[in-house]
Amino acid sequence: MADMANNSNKQTYYLNGLTCANCAGKIEDELKKDEKLRSVSFSFATKKLVFYSDFLEGDVKSHIQKKVDNIEDGIIVSKSDNPSISLNEDSCALIEQVAEPSRNKTTTNVLSFMNKYMKEMIGAVVLFVLIFSGDTSSLAIGAYIIAYILIGGDIATRAIKNLLKGHLFDENFLMTLATVGAFALGEYTEAVAVMLFYKVGEGFQNYAVDNSRRNIKALLDIKAEYANRIVGATSDRVDPSVLEVNDYILIKAGEKVPVDCTVTEGTSNVNTSALTGESMPRNVKVNMSLLSGSINIDASIKAKVVSTFENSTVAKILDMVENATGKKAKTEQFITKFAKIYTPIVVASATTLAFVPPLLGFGGFREWISRALIFLVISCPCALVLSVPLGFFGGLGAASRKGILVKGGNYLEALNDIDTYVFDKTGTLTKGKFAVQSFTNDETLRLASYLEIHSTHPIAKSILEYNRTEVSIDTAKEVREIPGEGLVGMYDGKALYVGNHRLMERYHIEMEATGFVGSVVYVAYHNQYIGNIEISDEIKESSYELVKKLKEVGAKSIIMLTGDQKEIADYVANKLGIDTVYSELLPQDKLAHVEALINNNQKVLFVGDGINDAPVLARANIGVAMGGVGSDAAIEAADIILMTDEPDKLIEANKIAKGTRKIVLQNIVFALGVKLFFLTLGAFGIATMYEAIFADVGVAVIAVINSMRTMRI
Q: How confident is the model at residue 263 (pLDDT cuts 50, 70, 90)?
A: very high
pLDDT digits 0-9 by tens, 277-288: 666 788 899 999
Torsion angle, CA of 435/441/444/449, rounded to 10 degrees? 50
Asked whether residue 403 is domain-assigned, the answer is no
pLDDT digits 0-9 by tens, 541-578: 889 889 889 988 889 999 999 877 788 889 899 999 99
Which is more confidently placed, 514 or 84? Answer: 514
Q: Same domain, yes or no, for 421 and 551?
A: yes
Cβ-proximal residues to 146 (8 Å cutoff; 6+ apart), any chain: 123, 126
Q: How high is the pLDDT of residue 325?
A: 60
Q: Same domain, yes or no, for 636 and 688?
A: no
Q: How high is the pLDDT of residue 565?
A: 73
Q: Same domain, yes or no, for 533 and 557?
A: no
Asked whether residue 100 is domain-assigned, the answer is no
Mean pLDDT of 394-400: 85
Closest to 575 (Cα-Cα) out of 420, 430, 419: 430
Q: Same domain, yes or no, for 292 and 356?
A: no
Q: How high is the pLDDT of residue 417?
A: 93
Question: Which CATH number belongs to the domain containing residue 242 in this structure?
Answer: 2.70.150.10
pLDDT digits 0-9 by tens, 215-252: 666 656 778 889 999 998 888 999 999 999 999 999 99
Asked whether residue 69 is domain-assigned, the answer is yes
Asked whether residue 110 is domain-assigned, the answer is no
Q: How high is the pLDDT of residue 102?
A: 42
One-letter amino acid for residue 248 of the chain: Y
Active site residues: 424
Sheet arrangement for strand 227-231: 234-238, 227-231, 248-251, 301-305, 261-265, 289-290
pLDDT digits 0-9 by tens, 353-375: 889 999 998 888 888 888 887 88
Containing 533, the helix (H) or strand (E) segment is strand 528-539
Instruction: Give the distance, in angstroms, between the CA of residue 56 and the centroid of all CA atoms in the same chain.
Output: 29
Q: Same domain, yes or no, for 556 and 688?
A: no
Q: How high is the pLDDT of residue 259?
A: 93
pLDDT digits 0-9 by tens, 596-648: 999 999 999 999 876 678 888 889 999 998 876 555 667 777 889 888 888 88
Mean pLDDT of the chain: 83
| Domain range for 263 | 227-309
Q: Same domain, yes or no, for 163 and 214?
A: yes
pLDDT digits 0-9 by tens, 50-73: 888 877 766 788 889 988 888 887
One-letter amino acid for residue 67 of the chain: K
Cβ-proximal residues to 345 (8 Å cutoff; 6+ apart), any chain: none
Asked whether residue 585 is domain-assigned, the answer is yes
| Alpha-carbon span 487 to 508, nearest angstrom | 15
Q: How high is the pLDDT of residue 285?
A: 92
Q: Same domain, yes or no, for 438 and 534?
A: yes
Q: Same domain, yes or no, for 614 and 704?
A: no
Q: Of 41-55, 261-275, 367-381, 485-499, which has the strongest mean pLDDT? A: 485-499
Q: Same domain, yes or no, for 10 and 61?
A: yes
Q: Is 330 exposed, middle or buried (0-12, 13-18, 19+ CB in 10 A)?
A: exposed
Q: How high is the pLDDT of residue 661?
A: 94
Closest to 308 (Cα-Cα) out of 245, 233, 381: 245
Closest to 696 (Cα-Cα) out of 236, 227, 170: 170
Q: How confident is the model at residue 587 (pLDDT cuts 50, 70, 90)?
A: confident
pTM: 0.71
Q: Same domain, yes or no, for 231 and 275?
A: yes
Residues paired with residue 262 on neighbouring β-strands, in sequence order: 289, 304
pLDDT digits 0-9 by tens, 19-53: 776 778 788 888 888 888 888 888 777 788 888 88
Q: How high is the pLDDT of residue 349?
A: 87
Using the Cα atoms of residue 179, residue 181, residue 184 and residue 189 in order, give the sign of their dihedral: negative
Q: How confident is the model at residue 521 (pLDDT cuts 50, 70, 90)?
A: very high
Q: How high is the pLDDT of residue 697?
A: 81
Q: How many domains does the chain have?
A: 6
Q: Residue 170: what are its φ and ψ, rounded to 5°?
A: -85, 175
CA-to-CA dists, residue 484 to 278, 457, 499, 563, angstroms: 41, 11, 9, 18
Q: Same domain, yes or no, for 275 and 369?
A: no
Q: How confident is the model at residue 468 (pLDDT cuts 50, 70, 90)?
A: confident
Mean pLDDT of 467-478: 86
Asked whether residue 404 is domain-assigned, the answer is no
Residues paired with residue 294 on neighbouring β-strands, in sequence order: none
Q: Same domain, yes or no, for 439 and 505?
A: yes
Q: How confident is the model at residue 97 (pLDDT cuts 50, 70, 90)?
A: very low
Out of 190, 219, 248, pick the residue that ends a domain.
219
Q: How confident is the model at residue 6 (pLDDT cuts 50, 70, 90)?
A: very low
Mean pLDDT of 204-222: 68
Considering the chain, what percentage of its residues have pLDDT values greater than 90? 29
Question: Which CATH number belongs to the domain containing residue 22 in this structure?
Answer: 3.30.70.100
Out of 309, 339, 354, pick the residue that ends a domain.
309
Which range (218-222, 226-230, 588-592, 704-708) has the least confidence? 218-222
